[in-house]
Every structure is written in structure tokens, then in C-alpha cells.
């Protein structure tokens, strides 16, 4: 094994991976479902998903890093085990990279499939399957029930997708009926 990989704390690294993957999947799934429902246009879905995905990955990693630093400071004050700055940076980088990588999953069906409803369905199914696997892994690392964690992650993904679908539906109604009035 490479020396650099041996020095990575598996749990510490998994925090960044799990955070980036879960947030990337739920956020971009919501974006593509909401935009698809509002516009009915795959090109707009793909563009919105990519732009939101990059912004989300950057924001996630910055927020994750700030959280890691705050947790590190708290552990120092309480004389607990303190993660190294290198671990915090690696975990933050994993958060960024997995958030970027996971944004692809909900977007690809809109690139490959001409039928928008089918693309929405495939995107939802694949993202929820990945969330279930991630939840099961978190459950295993936590020595908890894998199924319970998997289902919990799926429900969170469904909640985000449903909320975004509703918002997309409301925006579609506002845009198509002509009730959209700019404030200026």
C-alpha cells in the first residue's frame, strides 16, 4: 500500500466521502427533478445540474473544512484526540471530489435519454440506490442496522426530490400562466 494511503484514517476519510456523496446526490437530484419539472427541457436540466453541482461541491468543501476546524478546536480545548490538519485537508478534498463525482449520477440520464419523464425516473432510481448503499455503509461503520440506515438515506433523497418537484411545479405554473412579475 502507498505510504500516503496508509496514513489516512479510514473513518476520518469516510466522513468527507459520505458527506460529499450524500449532499451531492440529494442536492443535484433535487435540482434536476425540479428543473425538469419546471422547464421540460433536458438541456436546461443538464446546464443547471452542472452549474449547481460545481457550486455545491465548492460550498460543501468549504463548509466541511470549516466544520472540521471547529471540531478540531473543540477537541483541543477538551484534551481529546485531535485530527491532524492533513487529515482535515484530505477529508475536505474527498468531500469536494465525491460531491463533484456524485453530481454526474442524476445528470447522465438527461444526456442519454430523450424522454424527460424516463430520465427523471432513471435519475431518481439510480440516485436512491446509491444513497441506500451509502447509508448501509454508514450503518456498518456505526455498527448499526444497515437496512435502517440505508432506508433513512433513501427517505432523505426522496424528501429532497419531492420538495424540488413541488417547487418546480409551482415555478412552472408561475412561468407559464404569466403570473411571474419581476419586482423592479
Alpha carbons 134 and 148: distance in angstroms, whole number = 12
DSSP string, 57-101: HHHHHHHHHHHHHHHHHHHHHTT-----HHHHHHHHHHHHHHHHH
Alpha carbons 102 and 141: distance in angstroms, whole number = 21
- Asked if residue 133 belongs to a domain, the reply is no
- Asked if residue 5 belongs to a domain, the reply is no
State the residue range of the domain holding 80: 11-127+156-177
- Asked if residue 15 belongs to a domain, the reply is yes
What is residue 4's predicted lDDT score, i.e. its pLDDT? 43
- Asked if residue 132 belongs to a domain, the reply is no
- Asked if residue 142 belongs to a domain, the reply is no
Residue 101: pLDDT above 50?
A: yes
What is residue 3's predicted lDDT score, i.e. its pLDDT? 45
Alpha carbons 18 and 46: distance in angstroms, whole number = 24
What is residue 82's predicted lDDT score, i.e. its pLDDT? 67
- Asked if residue 32 belongs to a domain, the reply is yes
Alpha carbons 13 and 93: distance in angstroms, whole number = 9
- Which pLDDT band holds residue 8 (cuts at 50, 70, 90)? very low
Alpha carbons 33 and 44: distance in angstroms, whole number = 11
Residue 180: pLDDT above 60?
A: no
Kindly calculate the radius of gyration of the chain based on its CA atoms and give it in whole angstroms: 19
Q: Of residues 6 and 25, which shows the higher confidence score?
A: 25
- Asked if residue 143 belongs to a domain, the reply is no
Looking at the structure of the chain, the number of domains it has is 1
Q: What average pLDDT does range 167-173 have in this prediction?
A: 86
| Residue percentage of the chain with pLDDT more than 70 | 87
- Asked if residue 26 belongs to a domain, the reply is yes
Amino acid at each position: 500500500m502507498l505510504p500516503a494511503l496508509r496514513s489516512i484514517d479510514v473513518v476520518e476519510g469516510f466522513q468527507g466521502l459520505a458527506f460529499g456523496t450524500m449532499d451531492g446526490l440529494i442536492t443535484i437530484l433535487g435540482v434536476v427533478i425540479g428543473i425538469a419539472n419546471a422547464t421540460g427541457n433536458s438541456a436546461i436540466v443538464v446546464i443547471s445540474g452542472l452549474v449547481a453541482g460545481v457550486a455545491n461541491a465548492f460550498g460543501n468543501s468549504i463548509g466541511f473544512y470549516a466544520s472540521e476546524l471547529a471540531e478540531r478546536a473543540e477537541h483541543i480545548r477538551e484534551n481529546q484526540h485531535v485530527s491532524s490538519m492533513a487529515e482535515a485537508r484530505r477529508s475536505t478534498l474527498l468531500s469536494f471530489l465525491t460531491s463533484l463525482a456524485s453530481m454526474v449520477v442524476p445528470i447522465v440520464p438527461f444526456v442519454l435519454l430523450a424522454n424527460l419523464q424516463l430520465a427523471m425516473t432513471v435519475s431518481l432510481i439510480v440516485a436512491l440506490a446509491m444513497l441506500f448503499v451509502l447509508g448501509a455503509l454508514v450503518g456498518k461503520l456505526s455498527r448499526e442496522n444497515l437496512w435502517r440506515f440505508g432506508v433513512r438515506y433513501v427517505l432523505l433523497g426522496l424528501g429532497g426530490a419531492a420538495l424540488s418537484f413541488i417547487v418546480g411545479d409551482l415555478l412552472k405554473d408561475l412561468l407559464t400562466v404569466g403570473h411571474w412579475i419581476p419586482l423592479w
